[in-house]
Every structure is written in C-alpha cells, then in structure tokens.
Structure 1
Amino acid sequence: MEPLKHECGVAMVRLLKPLSYYKEKYGTWHYGLNKLYLLMEKQHNRGQEAAGAGCIKMHSPAGSEYVYRERALGSGAISEIFSSINHQIEHARLGDHSAEWVEEEAPFIGEIYMGHLRYSTTGRSGMSYVHPFLRRNNWCSRSLMLCGNFNMTNVESIFSEVVAKGQHPRIFSDTVIILEQLGYSLDKENSRLHQEFTLQGLDGIERARAIEDNLDIPSILRSTAPSWDGGYVICGAVGSGDIWTLRDPHGIRPAFYYTDDEIVVVASERPVIQTVMDVAIDDVHELAPGAAVIVAKSGNVSVEQVLPTASDARCSFERIYFSRGSDADIYRERKALGCQLAAPVTEALGGDLRHAVFSFIPNTAEVAFIGMCEGLESELDHRRTEAILSAQKRDELTPAVLEEIMSDKLRVEKVAIKDIKLRTFIAEGATRTDLATHVYDVTYGLIEPGVDSLVVIDDSIVRGTTLRQSILRMLDRLSPRQIVVVSSSPQVRYPDCYGIDMSRMGEFCAFRAAVALLKESGRTHVLDDVYHRCLEQESMSDTEIINCVKDIYAPFSDEEISAQIARMLTPDGTRAEVKIIYQTLDGLHRAVPSSPGDWYFSGDYPTPGGTRLVNRAFVNYYEGHPDRR
C-alpha cells in the first residue's frame, strides 16, 4: 500500500560478431542499442530517479570518439536518453555512408552497451551521481566505464585506502571510489604488461595492441573486490573491449546472464532477459555469488570465481516485492507466501469464512492474494468434505443438504481501486492527509454492514503511513465488522544497508511498536542499555560486533508487536476492529527457500558492515538524528 523505493537495475550487452553482421541479419545497425533499450525499459520498476546508457566502439580510428554516454534525471530518463541517442544517430545519416564508416565513426553504434537505472538510497542525487561513470584516458586499455546495483557499507575505509595511494577522488560516493580503485588496478595491469612486452621487443602500436589483448580482468577484480563490504552487482567495461559483471560473494543483489554465438546479455532480473531475447528459462543463468561473467576483447566468454562464495544471503525482499512477478520461480514463491497466511487469517476471523470478503491492495500483492485464496479454498474443501461425510453418517445427505454444503464459497472481490488521477502534492498538513484518504475508491455494496469482515492483503507493511492516513479510513467507509490487514512479508524491524531505501529505524512501524511497548511496560531502560552497547560496539573488531538492537524486540512476541502496530495505525474514529497479521520468518523461508537473506526481519546481517550500520542507525535514532542512516 505504501510503495518502497527500489534498488538499482543494470543492463549489459556485448555483441560478438562484426556490426555489419547484425545489419545484414536483422536489417538494422541498432540491434545492440535496441536490446539495451528493452532491457532498461523492462527494468524501469527498479529505478525511477535517473538513468544512464553508455556505448564503446571497439574499432574507432585515432582521432574519433570511442566512448559515448548519455544520462538523464527523472522518471522519464529512459525516454530522454534514447531520444537524444536516436537524434545523434539520425544526424549522422548512416545511410549516406559505407559500412566501414558506420562501424568506425557512427555515434552509439558499437559492440558494447551498458545501461543503468538508479534510485538513490543514500540521499545523494543529481547528475554527478548518475551511472555509468567514466574514467577517460587516451589509452583505450586504461579507459573505464562503470555502473552497478550496490551500496557499500564501508565507504569510509575504502576512501581512506584510495587516498592513501595518492589518488584524489572528486566525489565522496561509493561509485566514484570503486571506479578509482578499479582504475588504479587497471593502470597497474597496463604498466605490468607494458614492461613485459617492452622486454619482448614490442613498441608503439604493436605493444599497445598486445596490452589490450592480454588484460587480466580476474586479477584486476581480485586485487580490489576483497575490500568491499556490501551487496553489489558491478558492471565494468574497458575502452579496448573487455567487459565484466561481478556479483557479491553473498549473492545479496541479483544478476543473470545469457550468451550465444552472437551476443552476451546481463540484467538484474531473469524474465527481462527471457522476454528481450525470446529465450527459455533454462537458457538464462544466474550469476553465482562471488563470480564474474567476463567477455574478453577477443569475444571469449568465461565465468570466473573472483571471490570465495560466502554464506548465502540472496535477498528475500527481491522475491517478495522488488523483482518482476513474471519470473516463474518468483510467481510460485509469492503464491506460497499467501497460501501460508490462510491459517492465521482463518483464526483471526474466528473460523467464519462465510461472513468475510477477501481482496488485495495494491496490485503488486495480487499473486500473494491468489495464494492466500487457494489456501482458504483448501480449508473450505476440508470443511465441505467433513460436512458431507458427517451428513452421510447421519443418513441426511439429501440434495438440499448437499446444495447447502457446496454453497459455502469464498467471497473474493475488488474492494479498492486506485484513482490515478488524484494528486495530493499540492496540499500540506491536514489537508494533504484528508486528500490522501481519497486516493483509492471503494466498491460499495459488497459488505453487509456490521456483519461481514474485510480481509485485504499487502506484500509488505513497512512504515504504515499510507495504511493509517488512507487505506483504513477508506475501508472503514464500508462499515465492516472488522478489518484484517495481512502482510505477505514478516515485520520489517531493521534497516537495509545494501541498496534498498529502508535505512532509518524510526520509520519502521514494528520498531515504533516495540518502543511503545517498552514504554508502556516501564522498561525504557532497555533503550538506554541498547544505546550504550551500540556505542561500545563502534570500537570493536568485525569478529566481535553484534546487533544490539535485537534486545528491543526480545521482550515481546510477534503477535504482541502486531497487535500494537494495529493499535498505532488505526485512525481515530474507526468503527471496525482492526487486526494486522504478518508472515512469520519460518513461513518466509518455507515459501522462499532460494533466498535466505532476511536481515530486514531477523537482524542477521551477512556482513560486518551491515551489523555496524544497524547499531549506528539506532544511535542516530536515540540521539535524534532522523536524517542520518
């Protein structure tokens, strides 16, 4: 009901044949560019703040540009970027030139493409932070283009390491710092090969080409990546033609790739590649944690294990919320999440399914809703079977009795429809809150006032602001006896630090509920104790630190916190009884076994940097710094 901001999305395309091959086979010089556009557009859900695209031409002559880049801000950035690119191509009038000229000179017609969709999770915005980033050099083998879906938790230490080597990063951001780190290693690799080939008697162009043909990309990555703490998928391209995509050793952020004899494609989501390349699910491969898919200048494709695989922490929120539901596995998992909620929903209704109406808000919860309904239908099937057997035993199974038994059906309705025309940004304060109540239209006549319960499922209830200000007020207009709000994800209790916009403790309704319960029960000393322990943790080593914030939740059961959340979020004047049901951690892991990363819910961070940041987030909350991580 309250959209979370997404983490970034990446796209890479490497054409393995001469450009004229694609013109002859597909009838256009734009084949690679078109694939990039589709990969980005199909991932638009992952980043609405900005976007960028880059291109490298591998056969430009000296004196001609070989690295192109376009970036734009705003939700329409993709259209703006490709409109500009197409304008440049049209201005070049490709049809007036030879194929050789197009391959060497035409803007944005190249062998390598890189795309990025951005959402800032650090509060930094503006064109200076939009990927891809460039490190330009007159030597093609020293030029570097970089983009990624990541957030590093140890930026300060990486920055200090870079500065200690004598570098001077222009901006304090993890992207710039990683660019400089990798650029430094790329320079060292160039120097090593320069010396090696000089000793072999090579000079000039011949030596430069030998360097370009022999860059050791795995070695470059292994010299830098071990210092990174965070979740990441980092894409890089060297100006002379080598490219790579590297995934973090815990597999926190997702990455998939496809390759054939014509093309290599990388994206953040599997169904995007399936759709764009029109290939089967088994043709698209998940990039293993700690591994990099690398395409050499020669076109040789390899997958290298750059970093040792660490504990599996594939992000469960990707499966619950962020990734496209058209992925076959994600679709099944979201249905399973909903199905597992059937039993607690039935319990919350006191077993009375006949006097209940079931719906979902928002549309992203529809698949979980289908699963919940299937679970509830199974319960009704069980009841029907028991009733038939009981009637048979009493020799009372008449057609009328059977018809009565079979008439017990689930009441599934479309209760709320979002009014996309309504905007509340022009109002402030109480007026804005009042207008927000009308963002959704309700369907009247579905509920028997004072008799029926209304059950609505959401994929996550994180902050609860929209629930309190809009949804519950709107649903209460229908006069149900009770409103049961169901979350297909568990209670979000801890901030994310790996690339999703959930970084401040005080924003989480589960945290606010736990604090309220501590205060109500006279245990505010727990908050003081946790604060002092968090401060002590800051001087401890990575092997010693623990998540002290867990102690805030420890005194209470999940049900107690859910009940407090319901009390907090119920608007004054609400006539219906409000209940909130969350998915359990066990339920999450049963439904989503492929992605055990659950730090948002459990507080078990896969890296030391995550644990440090959750303690720091509580210190900021306690000290009254809501704008800090």
Structure 2
Amino acid sequence: MCGIVGVVGQGPVNQLIYDALLLLQHRGQDAAGIVTQQGRKVYMHKAKGMVRDVFRTRNMRALPGNVGMGQVRYPTAGNAYSEEEAQPFYVNAPFGITLAHNGNLTNAQALKAELFSTDHRHINTESDTEVLLNVLAHELERATRGGTLGPETVFAAVASVHRRVRGSYAVVALIAGYGLLAFRDPYGIRPLSIGRGADGTVMVASESVTLEGTGHHLERNLQPGEAVFVDLQGAVSAKQCADNPKLYPCIFEYVYLARPDSVLDEISVYQARLNLGETLAKRVISTVPPNQIDVVIPIPESSRPSAMQLAQLLGLPYREGFVKNRYVGRTFIMPGQAVRKKSVRQKLNVIGSEFKGRNVLLVDDSIVRGTTSREIVQMAREAGARKVYMASAAPPVRFPNVYGIDMPTASELVAAGRTVDEVRELIGADALIYQDVDGMKRAIGSLNPKLDGFDASCFDGVYVTGDVNADDIAKINEARIGQEDPLEESSSRLALPNAQEI
C-alpha cells in the first residue's frame, strides 16, 4: 500500500503535488518523493519520513515545472530502511523515465533475472518498483525503435508490460519531454482515479479524496488494464491495454486502507463500512444478546462507521471510549513489535467513565496480528469494564497478502491455524465476533454490481492473479523487507509473540 499522484498543470505543480501527498499520507509514512519536469530536465527530491519532514522550502524551490508526480511509501518489498528505495525511481534510457507504483509484483525475482540475462538491464536495489520501471523502459524502447513516441507507442509498451508482469500495480510515470503515463494492472487490484481542475490541470491519484481535496473534479476511475497518457499540453488519451481485464479491487481498501471520504471504483468507502456494520450486527446477535451489552465503542478510526451502524441497528448507545493521539504513527506500519506494543498506549487513551462497570462491545475494522487487540482489551479491563466483547467488521485474516499489504506470512497472523475461540482467548476477550467472508463481499459488492469480484486473498486464500502458490509466497517473503533496523529489539518487523507456525 502506497499513495501515488501525477499532475500535468498550467503552472508550477510542486505545491499541488505536496498538498496531494498530504492527502495520501495515510497510505504510507515511511518515505516520500516528488519529481517535476521542466523542458526535458527532471528534478527530484525524495527521502525517508513523512511528507512534512521530507520537503522543506529549499527542496520545494528546487522542483520547478508544470508536470510532476509524487509518492508516499509504505514498504512491502525491498528494504524498508534504505534511502535508495524511496520512490520515484529514474532511468535515463530511453527518453528519461521516472516511475512510482502502488502494489506488489509477484514475479519480481524472475523478472529481475530476465532483465539481466535477456534485456541487459541492471537492477541496483531490492525494490520491485525498479524492476517494473526497467520492464517499462525496455518495452518503450522496443515500441519506439525506428519511430517516434506517441500515445499508441506508449500503449503498445504498456500492453507488453501487462504480458510480462504479474501482481498488483497502479503506476504513474513521467516520460521526459513527452508527458505523464498512468496505468493499472489487469485486475484493478490497486485503485487509481483521474480528474481535472477548472484551469485544465489533469491529475491522477490513488484516491478520489486527493482530487477533491486539491480542487479537482473526479472524472472516473481507471479501468483494470487501462492506460492513460497525458501530453504536456494536457491532452488525454486512453486505451485498454490488457488482453482479458477483470475488475477485482482489493477488498481491504474498503475495510481499512482507504480514507472513508474516498470513492474507489464507484463505491463509497464510507457506505461500504456502514454496510459492514449492518451485516456485523446480525453476527453479534447470534453470539451475544444485545441486552447483555451496555455500550458500543469503536477502536479509532476506521471502524467508526461500522460501529455506529451496528449500534443503531441493535438499539444500543454508541460512545467514544478511546481518544487517539494523532501525532503517533499508525501501528500497522511501524517497524518492530516492541515499538508496536508500546505505541498502542501512546496512541490511544481510555475515557474511564465509558467503561467502568459496563459490558462493552469494542468494534474494530479488522484483527490482523492480534497484538493491538490484546492491548486494547486489557486497557478496557483496566478502566473497569465488567465484560469486554470484541467484534471485527472484517473476517479472520488467515492468509498472507502478496499484493501490497504488510501481511506476509501465516505465522504472523493471529487467526491463521486457530479457531475463533482460540483467538478470543489469546486477545483476552469475553466474546469475539467476526464478519463472515461472503457477508463482507455482499455488503460491499452490492454498491457496484459491475465488479467482477474482489481480491479478498487475506480472508479466503484465493489469489486472483492465479499465479501464486505456497512456494511463490515463500520467495516473495524472502525478497521483501529482509533487513531490520539495528535499533529495533524485534527480529522481525511484524513478529507476533507466541504465533503458531503454520
């Protein structure tokens, strides 16, 4: 999960891209980068850290031009601690191309070997983005050999990329002196939207909130397999470049990853979460009678719509029992289990009066590793709760995700190989209620009947690209974030204490 944006404007775009990245900060807090283009010259600044820390006034002044792109990084492949692997990436031939992508390539290692032996291209990092960039560069070189670059040659190159690359990828790329390219994988696993400003500025971005928050009108989502090329004058060309595209967006975007005010593939994320609360309410009734629940409390912040809808349907009071410190990063993407456990207390504080002497139903968007849930249940008990029930708006996360979410191995997922009651005991709750997979798919899928389905692989173990097996997952895990920050106590940035080996 990363956030990407590309802009072709009528004036300087550095501030616009900066503002867009702030609106995408929830999608990645590890590193940030901006590239702009003036004439045929490319200017770049990228570094580890949050957007506000990476870009100072001197950096912004050094990013001139009316065309540009940016990315906020959440590392799922390569080295999380390497400055070199901050995006965008650049290659000087052909033309000069910079590229950033959101997603994860499942055949990156095979492509890396092929690029070296057949295409004679060198990959200098462990990042699958550099692999994707070099595949695109090679295919652009082939498509333009003996001719000129235009939309049709760009689309021919993207079609070849689709035939070679596997996995999830939403891409923005700048071709120096020519324009902006954006495309989406043939299954549309990762989101990408396009819109236009009143002055004619064209923007593509991971989420619609980026467009709306910068004064642009959302025109549509890119289709799976589709490529869009925007020339330097703002003229937009689009073409379907995949042989057999199907729309299977990642369902975890709606559960947790995306902002609630975004619309992804014509589905309101907020409405999707309301629907999840409605179906979850039916599950709660079958496990805990509502008259045994005094209050419904969400775990901030993604679970709020689901918790509100659930409370309303069950006729129960909805209360805010946790106050979030907004200046502490998300535990989901923080390296090191020791840091994660400590940060839960730093990030959330209880309002004791909402817990004391009550039977509370805590609602979370999902339960991934269980460490945060265990801490939160303990916090509720320490605040005086008589009984603590936990409900998850998503089903049990039982399988690794290989498409760009940090869920790499089954042994690090609390629900993998465990029954619901075993998970309940591990997190210390008096009852545990999960959403069911089919109910989740119906609740969200009903909002756009044109979808072919969802990538729900972390819940149902079905990998929509059809090229992933246990050996592939093992290889992907070996190639992903393999180097730890020496300052961290944990040997794995995702370690789950006492996790069962599967």
Q: Same fold (TM over 0.5)?
A: yes
Amino acid across the alignment from 2:131: I
Closer/same/farther in 2, CA of residues 234 and 420 from structure 1, 3 Å limit: closer
Deviations 1:298-338, CA, capped at 9 Å, x for gaps: 64311110113434320110011011101261111101101
Closer/same/farther in 2, CA of residues 115 and 613 from structure 1, 3 Å limit: farther
- Aligned 1:445-594 pairs, distance under 5 A: 445-447=353-355, 449=357, 452-468=358-374, 470-513=375-418, 561-570=419-428, 578-593=430-445, 594=448
Q: Which has the higher strand share?
A: 2
* 1:346 corresponding residue in structure 2: 285
Amino acid across the alignment from 2:351: T
Matched, 1:41 2:16: no
Amino acid across the alignment from 2:322: A
Matched, 1:128 2:91: no
Report the Cα distance in structure 1 between the residues aligned to 2:171 and 2:22, rounded to whole angstroms: 20
Report the Cα distance in structure 2 between the residues aligned to 1:151 and 1:439, rounded to whole angstroms: 29
Closer/same/farther in 2, CA of residues 438 and 340 from structure 1, 3 Å limit: same
Closer/same/farther in 2, CA of residues 170 and 356 from structure 1, 3 Å limit: same
Deviations 1:257-290, CA, capped at 9 Å, x for gaps: 01367221000001221221253xxx43100000
* 1:526 corresponding residue in structure 2: none
* 1:27 corresponding residue in structure 2: none
Deviations 1:37-58, CA, capped at 9 Å, x for gaps: 1111100111100011001113
Report the Cα distance in structure 1 between the residues aligned to 2:339 and 2:196, rounded to whole angstroms: 54
* 2:44 corresponding residue in structure 1: 69
The alignment partner of 2:416 has SS state of helix
Deviations 1:153-181, CA, capped at 9 Å, x for gaps: 11122112211223332234322222222
Report the Cα distance in structure 2 between the residues aligned to 1:12 and 1:619, rounded to whole angstroms: 30
RMSD of aligned C-alpha atoms?
A: 3.1
Matched, 1:158 2:111: yes
- Aligned 1:205-354 pairs, distance under 5 A: 211=148, 216-259=153-196, 262-279=200-217, 283-297=218-232, 299-327=234-262, 329-352=268-291
Report the Cα distance in structure 1 between the residues aligned to 2:493 and 2:48, rounded to whole angstroms: 24
Report the Cα distance in structure 2 between the residues aligned to 1:124 and 1:87, rounded to whole angstroms: 29
Q: Runs ≥4 in structure 1, deviation > 6 angstroms?
A: 420-423, 428-435, 617-620
Cα deviation, residue 349, structure 1: 2.8
Closer/same/farther in 2, CA of residues 299 and 372 from structure 1, 3 Å limit: same
Cα deviation, residue 589, structure 1: 1.1
The alignment partner of 1:159 has SS state of helix
Cα deviation, residue 482, structure 1: 2.3
Closer/same/farther in 2, CA of residues 51 and 446 from structure 1, 3 Å limit: closer
Report the Cα distance in structure 2 between the residues aligned to 1:154 and 1:14, rounded to whole angstroms: 32
Which deviates further from its counterpart, 175-184 or 211-220?
A: 211-220
Closer/same/farther in 2, CA of residues 42 and 628 from structure 1, 3 Å limit: closer
Q: Which has the larger radius of gyration?
A: 1
* 2:484 corresponding residue in structure 1: none
* 2:468 corresponding residue in structure 1: 610
Report the Cα distance in structure 1 between the residues aligned to 2:318 and 2:456, rounded to whole angstroms: 31
Closer/same/farther in 2, CA of residues 288 and 367 from structure 1, 3 Å limit: same
Report the Cα distance in structure 1 between the residues aligned to 2:163 and 2:46, rounded to whole angstroms: 30
Closer/same/farther in 2, CA of residues 44 and 120 from structure 1, 3 Å limit: same
* 2:499 corresponding residue in structure 1: none
Matched, 1:411 2:317: yes
Q: Which has the higher helix share?
A: 1
Report the Cα distance in structure 1 between the residues aligned to 2:356 and 2:109, rounded to whole angstroms: 59
Report the Cα distance in structure 2 between the residues aligned to 1:55 and 1:435, rounded to whole angstroms: 36
* 1:149 corresponding residue in structure 2: 102
Q: Which runs of 5+ in 2 are unaligned?
A: 479-490, 495-502
Matched, 1:175 2:83: no
TM-score (norm 1): 0.68
Report the Cα distance in structure 2 between the residues aligned to 1:11 and 1:41, rounded to whole angstroms: 11
The alignment partner of 1:345 has SS state of helix
TM-score (norm 2): 0.84
Contact 1:52 1:131 (8 Å CA) reproduced: yes
Report the Cα distance in structure 2 between the residues aligned to 1:82 and 1:418, rounded to whole angstroms: 28
Report the Cα distance in structure 1 between the residues aligned to 2:165 and 2:17, rounded to whole angstroms: 28
The alignment partner of 2:68 has SS state of strand
Closer/same/farther in 2, CA of residues 374 and 612 from structure 1, 3 Å limit: same
The alignment partner of 2:408 has SS state of coil
Deviations 1:30-75, CA, capped at 9 Å, x for gaps: 3x222211111100111100011001113x6xxxxx1111111112
Cα deviation, residue 256, structure 1: 0.3
Cα deviation, residue 592, structure 1: 0.8
The alignment partner of 1:348 has SS state of coil
Sequence identity (%): 26
Select 2:36's aligned residue among 37, 42, 55: 55
Amino acid across the alignment from 1:115: G
Closer/same/farther in 2, CA of residues 443 and 252 from structure 1, 3 Å limit: same
Contact 2:6 2:205 (8 Å CA) reproduced: yes
Q: How many pairs are equivalent?
A: 464
Deviations 1:378-400, CA, capped at 9 Å, x for gaps: xxxxxxxxxxxxxxxxxxxxxxx
Report the Cα distance in structure 1 between the residues aligned to 2:7 and 2:319, rounded to whole angstroms: 44
Report the Cα distance in structure 2 between the residues aligned to 1:150 and 1:320, rounded to whole angstroms: 17
* 1:597 corresponding residue in structure 2: 455
